[in-house]
Chains A and B, each alone.
Chain A
Amino acid sequence: MSASEFFNMGGYAFFVWSSYGISSIVLAWIFISPIFNKKNIIKELRIKYRQQERQRQDSADSEQA
């Protein structure tokens, strides 16, 4: 079986390769998205915790003054 025969899929190339192509894209996207999502969540929480810390300090300072 030659490479061109293989990619031709007995005349069904469009249907076979679209099926595998679309499936790969969807599954890859579902797989990768939580990796970026987690990084974003950690970044956002980091900012949030700092703001909370700052507010706590401010209120502590104003109580002393």
Chain B
Amino acid sequence: MKLPAIVHKFSSPKNFYTMSGKMVPWFAWGFGLTLIFGLYYGFFVAPTDYQQGESYRIMFVHVPAAWMSMFIYMVMAVSGAVGLIWRIKTADLMASASAPIGAAFTFIALVTGSLWGKPMWGTYWVWDARLTSELILLFLYLGFIALQASIEDPRNAARAGAILAIVGVVNIPIIHYSVEWWSTLHQGATVSKMDKPSIHIDMLIPLLVMAVSFKLYYATSVLMRGRAEILLREQNSRWVKEIVANEGAAIGGGK
């Protein structure tokens, strides 16, 4: 299967650098505004939970972070696969730039879950299916990062990483369905139930706003990481030399 020429044109490293530079400020502003709105709504508008008191407010960071941990993994695996099949450098770049952000969200989901579990379940940790599969997700991210760091040649590193990421996709449905397949302390889904979410609307709004905010955070962050990394990977091309000459003069140093 061949990709249309236009995909190659827009996925060229130089175009990626130019276009992402224009997109980053918009994503960053969107992130900032949704974050302020989401936190305000979550702390000052959302009512106290009748069972969990104020402790449930951990949800507004815990649940979006857990969603992001899986979403970013899928982005990473799909871009890895695209890079593997069509040899698109910017797809490889997106995969490796996603990994640290995904690992961060996974870590946050685990830590905030633990801090929520202590007052509600009476324990920081339990080896049940949901928590264990999320921990495996963290190890997949860390394994991906370590694997890529250990291979000198960027093409081989991208290929090895992509294969690891694709194999690890099997863990994603396990995380999602773990609360249905096995008995667990972790509560089931309350938002994605199609008929009617069993959550108060004033709790649902900040939850969804925070989810959008984290998506925009990821968009901003992955592009910034990609923009830094691409200069290193494309250092022998003329356009990078021009950027280094221009921006290097502004930054100074190297004298």
B107→A26 contact, CB < 8 A: yes
Interface flags for B94-132 (1: CB within 8 Å of A; 0: not) read 000000110010011001100110110000000000000
B116→A30 contact, CB < 8 A: no
User: Interface residue tally of chain A, by bracket?
Assistant: 20 to 34
B55→A38 contact, CB < 8 A: no
* Secondary structure of the A contact surface, majority rule: helix
User: Interface residue tally of chain B, by bracket?
Assistant: 35 or more
Query: Closest residue to A29 on the B side, CB-wise?
Result: B104
Known: A19-B61, A43-B251, A43-B254. A38 touches B115 (CB 8 A): no
Q: Within 8 Å CB of B227, what residues of A?
A: 34, 38
CA separation between A38 and B176, bound complex, in Å?
A: 36
Contact of B48 among A10, A26, A34, A50 (CB under 8 A): A10
B254→A50 contact, CB < 8 A: yes
CA separation between A37 and B240, bound complex, in Å?
A: 16
Q: Within 8 Å CB of B254, what residues of A?
A: 43-44, 46-47, 50
Q: Does B228 contact A (CB under 8 A)?
A: yes
Which are the 9 A-B pairs with shortest beta-carbon distances? A10-B54, A38-B228, A46-B254, A12-B55, A19-B112, A9-B54, A46-B248, A10-B53, A34-B224
* Interface set of A (CB-CB < 8 Å, partner B): 6, 9-12, 15-16, 18-20, 22-23, 26-27, 30-31, 34-35, 37-39, 41-50
